[in-house]
C-alpha cells in the first residue's frame, strides 16, 4: 500500500513537472514614447514611458517567450514610407543587455492586431544568448516594410533554446521597444508615428443606417 501511494505521488509530481515545462513566459509593455535617430541609419523608436517593465521567468523550465508591445488605448502605430526610401525594417526587441549575444537560434511566430493596410513580410526572428554570461539574452523579430501600415499591437512568440536556463526575477531589461529602420535614404520627419484610431463606421453599419433613413423618408412621404 505504501509503495502504491509513493508511486501515485511520483506520478503526480511528474505531471506537475511536465505541465511546468509547457508554460509561457509573458512580457508586455505599452510602447508610447517616441525617439528618433538621424544620421547614418535613420531610425524611429517607440519605447515605454517611465520605468521599463521587469522580466520574470524561469527559462530553464519554460521554453516559450511571448512578447507583446501595444499602443496606448485609442491609438495605433502608423508607418508611412519616406519618399526617398524603398525599404524599411520594422523590429521588435527585448534585450537584457546592451550587447548582442554571440549564439543565435531562429524560429517563432507573430500576430498583429488592429491592422490597417497590408502586413509586412517577415525578415527574421530568433533568440540570442551567451554561454559565457547567463544574463545575456535577446529576443528579436524583424519585418520588411514597403507600404503604409498601421497596427495597435504586435505579439511574438519565440522558442527558448534548451541551453538557455537563466532564471530572472524582476529583472530590468537593457532595451525594450519597437523600431522602424531605414535601409536606404534619409528622413527629415518621423515616418513611424502614433495616430488616433479613426471612428469610421463599418460598411454593414453604413448599409443599415442607409436603410433606416430610406424607411424614414418613405414613412414621411406616406404621411404627407
Q: HEC profile for 48-82?
A: ECCCCCCEEEECCCCCEEEEEEECCCCEEEEECCC
Question: Given a cut of 70, is residue 74 above it in pLDDT?
Answer: yes
Question: Given a cut of 80, is residue 204 above it in pLDDT?
Answer: no
Backbone angle region of 39, left / alpha / beta, with phi > 0 → left and psi within -120 to 50 → alpha:
left
Question: Given a cut of 60, is residue 123 above it in pLDDT?
Answer: yes
Task: List Cβ neighbours of 98 (8 Å cut-off, separation of 6 or more).
Answer: 174, 175
Among candidates 24, 40, 64, 70, which has minimal Cα distance to 161? 64
Q: Is residue 52 part of a domain?
A: yes
What is the per-residue pLDDT for 133? 94
Report which DSSP code applies to 84: T
Report the alpha-carbon distance of residue 150 to residue 77 in Å, rounded.
Answer: 5
What is the per-residue pLDDT for 114? 97
Q: Is residue 224 part of a domain?
A: no
Question: Given a cut of 90, is residue 201 above it in pLDDT?
Answer: no
Question: Given a cut of 60, is residue 12 above it in pLDDT?
Answer: no
Positive/negative CA dihedral, 77, 40, 147, 93: negative
Mean local confidence (pLDDT), 145-151: 94
Q: Is residue 112 part of a domain?
A: yes
Grid cell in block for residue 164: 538557455
pLDDT in tens, 55-69: 999 999 999 999 999
Report the alpha-carbon distance of residue 171 to residue 54 in Å, rounded.
Answer: 5
Report which DSSP code applies to 201: P
Report the alpha-carbon distance of residue 134 to residue 138 in Å, rounded.
Answer: 12
Helical ranges in the chain per DSSP H? 2-21, 203-223
Question: Given a cut of 80, is residue 6 above it in pLDDT?
Answer: no
Q: Is residue 6 part of a domain?
A: no
Split into its structural domains, the chain has a count of 1
Q: Is residue 14 part of a domain?
A: no
Contact 34, 178 (CB under 8 A): no
Mean local confidence (pLDDT), 18-39: 84
Report the alpha-carbon distance of residue 68 to residue 31 in Å, rounded.
Answer: 10
pLDDT band of residue 99 (cuts 50, 70, 90) is confident
Report the alpha-carbon distance of residue 109 to residue 123 in Å, rounded.
Answer: 12
Q: Is residue 86 part of a domain?
A: yes
pLDDT band of residue 147 (cuts 50, 70, 90) is very high
**H/E stretch holding 46:** strand 43-48
Grid cell in block for residue 131: 554561454
Give residue 138's domain range. 21-195
Amino acid at each position: 500500500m505504501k509503495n502504491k501511494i509513493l508511486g501515485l505521488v511520483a506520478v503526480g509530481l511528474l505531471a506537475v513537472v511536465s505541465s511546468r515545462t509547457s508554460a509561457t513566459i509573458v512580457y508586455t509593455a505599452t510602447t508610447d514614447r517616441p525617439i528618433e535617430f538621424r544620421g547614418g541609419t535613420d531610425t524611429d523608436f517607440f519605447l515605454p514611458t517611465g520605468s521599463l517593465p521587469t522580466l520574470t521567468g524561469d527559462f530553464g523550465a519554460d521554453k516559450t517567450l511571448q512578447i507583446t508591445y501595444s499602443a496606448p488605448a485609442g491609438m495605433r502605430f502608423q508607418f508611412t514610407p519616406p519618399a526617398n526610401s524603398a525599404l524599411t525594417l520594422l523590429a521588435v526587441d527585448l534585450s537584457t543587455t546592451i550587447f548582442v549575444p554571440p549564439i543565435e537560434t531562429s524560429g517563432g511566430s507573430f500576430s498583429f492586431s488592429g491592422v490597417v493596410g497590408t502586413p509586412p513580410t517577415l525578415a527574421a526572428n530568433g533568440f540570442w544568448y551567451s554561454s559565457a554570461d547567463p544574463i545575456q539574452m535577446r529576443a528579436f523579430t524583424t519585418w520588411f516594410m514597403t507600404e503604409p501600415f498601421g497596427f495597435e499591437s504586435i505579439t511574438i512568440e519565440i522558442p527558448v533554446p534548451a541551453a538557455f536556463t537563466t532564471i530572472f526575477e524582476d529583472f530590468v531589461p537593457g532595451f525594450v521597444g519597437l523600431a522602424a529602420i531605414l535601409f536606404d535614404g534619409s528622413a527629415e520627419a518621423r515616418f513611424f508615428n502614433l495616430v488616433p484610431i479613426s471612428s469610421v463606421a463599418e460598411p454593414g453599419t453604413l448599409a443599415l443606417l442607409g436603410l433606416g433613413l430610406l424607411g424614414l423618408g418613405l414613412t414621411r412621404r406616406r404621411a404627407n
